[in-house]
Amino acid sequence: EKGMSTEELAYNLAIGEGELLGYLYSKGVRFHGLRTLDRDIVKMVCEKYNVEVLDVDPMKVEEMAKKKEIFDEDDLDKLKERPPVITIMGHVDHGKTTLLDYIRKSKVAASEAGGITQGIGAYKVQVPFDGKSLPCIFLDTPGHEAFGAMRARGARVTDIAVIVVAADDGIRPQTNEAIAHAKAAGVPIVIAINKIDKDGASPDRVMQELSSIGLMPEEWGGDIPMVKISALRGENIDDLLETIMLVAELQELKANPDRTAKGTVIEAGLDKSKGPVATFIVQNGTLRTGDIVVCGEAVGKVRALFDDRGIRVDEAGPSIPVQVIGLNNVPLAGDEFEVVSSLDIAREKAEARAEALREEHIAAKAGEGKITLSSLA
């Protein structure tokens, strides 16, 4: 299922979405649910606005995607299970923050809870599942931004998208946007129907709405898990977490912990005393203090690692978020990092990346007034 949303196309054409929708309506285009446009319609609209469409070879897109592939051949027989990484998205005020707060408070052991001194943009909770206590990583950055910015840069760190829909409000624009993000990234969706404690809450109506846009609840024979919760009262949150773990189990999430680390930056900034600090999600291998990393255009030797509770750790394995001190520069969210064997190599790689970025930038400038259909992928 590929397509460009009307929002994305309007943005690319620098026109209002309303104007675009008006034009599409006049051409007889009708939507049922998601406002996704296929290639032919995108071309028709671009013609009207005198914008050239650059077609991109799907093979090339595939190739680019492979380059972002995180495993090497050598890893394949050494893969071990890794925790799932989850992003919570949904319309404003539907309860994302309340849900995250509840999960964090209830699932981070009381003794540890006091240790949450500073947010690092992600945290780890332990979920009882299948007779065990399994770790699960939640990204704390506002879901849409994290998805949008990282998707634009080709990064994919999320394994599961939890989309919160308020039972007294139903599907709203940012709900649709969240669904579109998750679909575009090929990430499985779990729906949390929230605020079931409220007067006027109608979970059935929400399920009806969702099925009308192609998300059929498991309860009704479809394949989308939907859990009815009250984030405020903590009702059914355990069900939600269990559902997330089931979806994770089906994905067979794996990585090779016994190799040098690779992963993605999810947050970065400049700290007055520590200098550049970045939160990494390790996606393959194990990151250790003393490792030499290249990260976007930044390089450095890892001086210290801090976990999601601000506690100093020596290493971080697959899926684990960790704050890194020791970079010479502030990288960007979505930048990939990897461990290399020397600072010279790190600098060379950083230089090559900077060069590639400059070229991309020049190409982008030359292509102004053109849309690349790779964004359809």
How far apart CA 298 and CA 287 sit, in angstroms, is 16
**Residue 371, H or E segment:** strand 370-372
- 212-221 contacts: CB < 8 A, separation 24 or more? 212/32, 212/33, 213/32, 213/33, 213/34, 213/171, 213/176, 213/179, 214/33, 214/34, 215/179, 215/189, 215/191, 217/191
The single residue listed with the structure tokens 């690319």 is: 12
194 binds, among ligand GDP, Mg ion, none (CB under 5 to 8 A by kind): ligand GDP
**Are 371 and 54 a contacting pair, CB within 8 Å?**
yes
Q: Are 84 and 136 in contact (CB under 8 A)?
A: yes
Phi, psi of 307 (to 5 degrees): -85, -170
Q: Which stretch binds Mg ion (CB under 5 A): 47-55, 60-68, 97-105, 354-362?
A: 97-105
Q: Cβ closer to ligand GDP: 229 or 294?
A: 229
DSSP class of residue 309 equals T
Q: Which does 81 bind (CB under 5 to 8 A by kind): ligand GDP, Mg ion, none?
A: none
Of residues 36 and 98, the one with the C-beta less far from ligand GDP = 98
**x/- contact string, 68-97, with ligand GDP (CB under 6 A)?**
----------------------x-xxxxxx
- Name the DSSP class of 13: H
Give the whole-angstrom CA distance, residue 212 versus residue 217.
Answer: 11
Least distance between ligand GDP and beta carbon 135 (Å) = 24
| Site residue total, ligand GDP (CB under 6 A) | 15
Positions in 316-345 near ligand GDP (CB under 6 A): none
Give the bridge partners for 306, in sequence order.
312, 323
Tell me whether residue 89 or residue 241 sits nearer to Mg ion (CB atom). Answer: 89
Q: Which residues ranging from 140 to 179 are in contact with ligand GDP (CB under 6 A)?
A: none
Residues 189-228 that bind ligand GDP (CB under 6 A): 194-195, 197-198
Piece in contact with Mg ion (CB under 5 A), picked from 89-97, 174-182, 296-304, 336-344: 89-97
Instruction: By CB under 6 A, name the one of 232, 246, 304, 343 that touches ligand GDP.
Output: 232
Q: Which of 11, 97, 328, 329 binds Mg ion (CB under 5 A)?
A: 97
Q: How many residues bind Mg ion (CB under 5 A)?
A: 2
Residue 192 has phi, psi (to 5 degrees) of: -105, 110
Least distance in angstroms from the C-beta of 22 to Mg ion = 32
Report the nearest approach of Mg ion to the CB of residue 106 (Å): 18
Compare residues 106 and 289 and give the one whose CB is closer to ligand GDP. Answer: 106
What residue 98 binds from ligand GDP, Mg ion, none (CB within 5 to 8 A, per partner kind)?
Answer: ligand GDP
Q: Which of 85, 135, 74 is nearest to 260 (CA)?
A: 74
Q: How many residues does the chain have?
A: 377
Counting contacts by CB under 6 A, is residue 98 touching ligand GDP?
Answer: yes
Site residues for ligand GDP, 236-275, by CB under 6 A, read none
Q: Which H or E element spans position 224?
A: none
- 262: which 2 tokens? 């690779």
Min dist. Cβ of residue 63 to ligand GDP (A)? 38
Let me know: does 329 contact 298? Beta carbons within 8 Å: yes
Please report, as ranges, the residues that interact with Mg ion according to CB under 5 A: 96-97
Please report, as ranges, the residues that interact with ligand GDP according to CB under 6 A: 90, 92-98, 194-195, 197-198, 230-232
